[in-house]
Amino acid sequence: MKRVVRFALALVLVCAVWGGVARAEAPRLVCLVSALSGQVRMSPADGPKKPVELFTRLREGERLDLPQGSTVQLAFLQKGVRETWSGPATVIITADGGQSPDAGGLPVTDKLPTKARPAGVGSSILSQGGEQATAQVMTRDVVLPEDKPLSDEDKAKLADVEQAVEQMRQAAAPGDVTPDIVLLEELTRLEQRRRAGELLERLRAAHPDNAALAHWGE
């Protein structure tokens, strides 16, 4: 009996180690869908195609299939840019942006009001730490954490981003959630966890059927 127990424990340990390796080698999350029109579908590296929705987080190597007349906007937060692709096109996600072997032209690119990260430093809300921080508000009964005290410099930076976000909201087309993504990124980067959590709650209330928001941080 003891031999069986030791074997079972060893098997659990091996599975845990291999599970950790698989997670460590998982492709990085590099962008989010901030706007779309039409039936855009994603082909993950290890599964069937599935529809794309707002706030969908995309990993390196995943592919988007855009039919004729469809568009998708991708927020590459580490780079501080947004790309708008139009179909028909196949768009392959990379850390440097979208790449397409069959698009009719290059994407429309515009700059986001967030500072581009140095090489090797990822987006706050697409990193493991950022996911864990925002996941703290998944349960409605949890007490939201406190915001980190900000220096005068960080307060000024946040104020600048909030002003830019407000301008983006005024110019954004219906269904464009880029302003929310930009603000969530900056709040998470500055460890304003309470405000980031409150923003996520408002977004979930505004998009009750959005699976990407419902499973944010998982």
Stretch 146-168: mean pLDDT, rounded?
94
**What pLDDT, in 10s, does the model give residues 18-43?**
444 344 467 889 999 999 999 999 98
Query: Secondary structure of 177-214 in the HEC alphabet?
Result: CHHHHHHHHHHHHCCCHHHHHHHHHHHHHHCCCCHHHH
Instruction: Report angle CA 82, 122, 165 to the nearest 5 degrees.
Output: 40
Stretch 189-217: mean pLDDT, rounded?
92
List CB contacts of 38: < 8 A, sequence separation 6 or more.
66, 67, 69, 70, 71, 87
Q: What's the pTM value of the predicted model, to 2 decimals?
A: 0.80
**What pLDDT, in 10s, does the model give residues 48-85?**
899 999 999 999 999 999 999 999 999 999 899 999 99
**What pLDDT, in 10s, does the model give residues 95-153?**
999 999 999 899 999 999 876 555 555 567 887 444 444 544 444 445 567 899 999 99
Query: Secondary structure of the chain in the HEC alphabet?
Result: CHHHHHHHHHHHHHHHHHHHHHHHCCCCEEEEEEEEECCCEEECCCCCCEECCCCCEEECCCEEEECCCCEEEEEECCCCEEEEEECCEEEEEECCEEECCCCCCCCEEEECCCCCCCCCCCCCCCCHHHHHHHHCCCCCCCCCCCCCCCCHHHHHHHHHHHHHHHHHHHHCCCCCCHHHHHHHHHHHHCCCHHHHHHHHHHHHHHCCCCHHHHCCCC
Stretch 42-47: mean pLDDT, rounded?
81
* pLDDT score at 216: 80
* pLDDT score at 13: 42
Stretch 141-166: mean pLDDT, rounded?
87
Residue % of the chain over a pLDDT of 70: 76
* pLDDT score at 124: 74
Label residue 210 by pLDDT band (50, 70, 90): very high
* pLDDT score at 119: 52
